[in-house]
Amino acid sequence: MKVSSDAFAGLQSQKPDALLALIAQYRADPRADKIDVGVGVYRSEAGDTPVMRAVKDAEAVLLSEQASKSYLGAEGDQRFAQLLWQLVSGSNRLGTRCFGLQTPGGTGALRVGAELLARARPDARVWIGEPTWPNHAPIFREAGLQVRTHRYLGATGGDIDFDAMVSALTEARAGDMLLLHGCCHNPTGTQFSQEQWMALAGLCLQRGIIPFIDLAYQGLGDGMEEDAQGARHMLAAVPDALLAYSCDKNFAVYRDRVGALFIHSGTESSLELARTNALTIARSLWSMPPDHGAAVVRTILDNPALRTDWEDELADMRRRLQIVRQGLASADPLLAPIATQRGLFSRLPIHADAIATVRRTHGIYMPADGRINIAGLNQTNLSRFVDGVLPHLPGYRGNSASDPSAPQEVSA
Ligand SMILES: Cc1ncc(COP(=O)(O)O)c(C=O)c1O
């Protein structure tokens, strides 16, 4: 007799991805002047997400020169890791205190780091400033860790209230982890000042808190060097730290999934333990990371001409983001904080109902938490965007129709 089993009936249903639903809605909208500030990728003035010139050139080099596609090993491309470490630390060598593991994107790096912490300190809590990239908490929870959120924004949501953050962190215990965006915060665009980074480094050192820096947007804020300064302060101060790096935005290789986890440890023996455990974790997750995107990045960073061209194009992208930020900020004092923020994102204090209204009436697509992708705007659509959203911001010419929205989750 056949035994019928419903293998998956015990699963809990999952919420559909809100951002994917928004993208589908945007695509289905026939209006020619619709505006997409939802999707989290860089867009040129023309609205494209082009392959960068140096990436195309490096791909041509690989096509003609790559002699084998044999396995690389769980640690991935070690020359790639070494070159990336140079970008992060300004130093040439990974050395005896740091190990770099190539991962599928920044997400892969965060997940291996989370699993590593769960093995090393199963009782550790991970402190995450709220709001953050909606995938952060799930990554740590899926690794079996407890997540605690802390406040870091001021009352308007446009800047950092550092005292509030430090006081929220008084509950953090030795051995807990503190997740920090290295630059260009997603979704708020806020950044710590150098003094604040130094204060955070002192706090981690004194209290035995392990920092996990998520550096996903280096070069899209103030510059490659400038955007690494916070991470450098932290790495110089504390014995143990993790850093998740994503090349997906600054090389615009999103779908190639390019990243690395850097493990920084106070002693060589601990580093060796962390290294072998990270390799074991990676082996069970994806065995070996995908090669192509990392090989492209390695080819660019190893070739002075390609590297200069990449830096130039990245600088153009950065300048364009700044121009749009200035344009928004000068349109109305309510938008002024956007000029001080950096990277792809800022967050408007706009109610979820108003977000639905501007979508209906103006074809402006933004996720329910009010995050806007600055690169979705350009000279053609900026004033229409401002006209659409401004009346819905709290404080706009006495219009009290909207309150700051309760943040809702989006997934990318
Ligand atoms: C803050 C932050 N960290 C990490 C990631 C993950 O990057 P990747 O696409 O390389 O996995 C993202 C992606 O949006 C992000 O915004």
Give 369-394 as a DSSP string.
Answer: T-EEEGGG--TTTHHHHHHHHGGGST
Residues 259 and 320 in one domain: no
The parent domain of residue 373 ranges over 18-51+307-392
Burial per residue of 66-80, b for 16 or more beta-carbon CB atoms within 10 angstroms, e otherwise = eeeeeebebbbbbeb
**Ligand 1 near 132 CB (within 6 A):** no
204 phi and psi angles, rounded to 5 deg = -65, -45
* Domain annotation covers residue 289: yes
In the set 109, 216, 252, 295, the catalytic residue is: 216
How far apart are the CA of 233 and the centre of ligand 1, in A? 22
The whole-model pTM stands at 0.94
Residue 238 in domain: yes
Is 339 considered catalytic here? no
Strand pairing report for 146-150 and 210-215: unpaired
Is 327 among the domain residues?
A: yes
3-state secondary structure of 18: helix
For the chain, how many structural domains are there in total? 2
Is 12 a member of any domain? Answer: no
Domain boundary among 281, 305, 329: 305
CB–CB of 203/169 below 8 Å?
yes
Cβ-contact 374, 366 below 8 angstroms: no
Domain of 262: which CATH number?
3.40.640.10
Statement to judge: residues 225 and 271 lie in one domain = yes
Do 195 and 327 fall within a single domain? no
Which atom of ligand 1 lies at the shortest distance from residue 412's CA? 14
Tell me whether residue 406 is in a domain.
Answer: no
Q: Are residues 269 and 186 in the same domain?
A: yes
User: 355 CA distance to ligand 1 centroid (A)?
Assistant: 24
User: Is there a domain that residue 400 lies in?
Assistant: no
Q: Is residue 93 part of a domain?
A: yes
Kindly give the confidence (pLDDT) of every residue in the chain, 412 residues in length, as a single tens digit, with 9 standing for 90 and above: 677 679 999 999 998 888 889 999 999 999 999 999 999 999 999 999 999 999 999 999 999 999 999 999 999 999 999 999 999 999 867 777 899 999 999 999 999 999 999 999 999 999 999 999 999 999 999 999 999 999 999 988 899 999 999 999 999 999 999 999 999 999 999 999 999 999 999 999 999 999 999 999 999 999 999 999 999 999 999 999 999 999 999 999 999 999 999 999 999 999 999 999 999 999 999 999 999 999 999 999 999 999 999 999 999 999 999 999 999 999 999 999 999 999 999 999 999 999 999 999 999 999 999 999 999 999 999 999 999 999 999 998 744 433 444 334 334 4
Q: Which of 277, 305, 333 is the last residue of a domain?
A: 305
The answer to whether residues 340 and 361 belong to one domain is: yes
> Does 337 lie in the same domain as 258?
no
Q: What gap in Å lies between CA 183 and CA 228, rounded to an integer?
A: 8
Question: Does residue 131 line the site of ligand 1, with CB under 6 A?
Answer: no
| Domain containing residue 33: CATH number | 3.90.1150.10
Do residue 47 and residue 144 come from a single domain? no
Spatial neighbors of 156 by CB under 8 A, at least 6 apart, are: 337, 349
Ligand 1, pocket-test mutation among 248, 255, 345, 347, most atoms within 8 A of CB: 248
Per the DSSP assignment, residues forming a β-bridge with 262 are 100, 243
The answer to whether 133 is a known catalytic residue is yes
Instruction: Please check whether residues 133 and 115 belong to one and the same domain.
Output: yes
Assess whether 214 carries a catalytic annotation: yes
Q: Is 395 helix (H, G, I), strand (E, B) or coil?
A: coil
259 lines ligand 1 (CB under 6 A): yes
Residues 252 and 120 placed together within one structural domain of the fold: yes
For residue 70, what is the DSSP state? -
- Determine the distance separating the centroid of ligand 1 and the alpha carbon of 397, expressed in angstroms: 37
Same domain, yes or no: 200 and 223 = yes
Q: Which of left, alpha, beta for 189 (phi over 0: left; psi -120 to 50: alpha)? A: left
Q: Are residues 244 and 319 in the same domain?
A: no
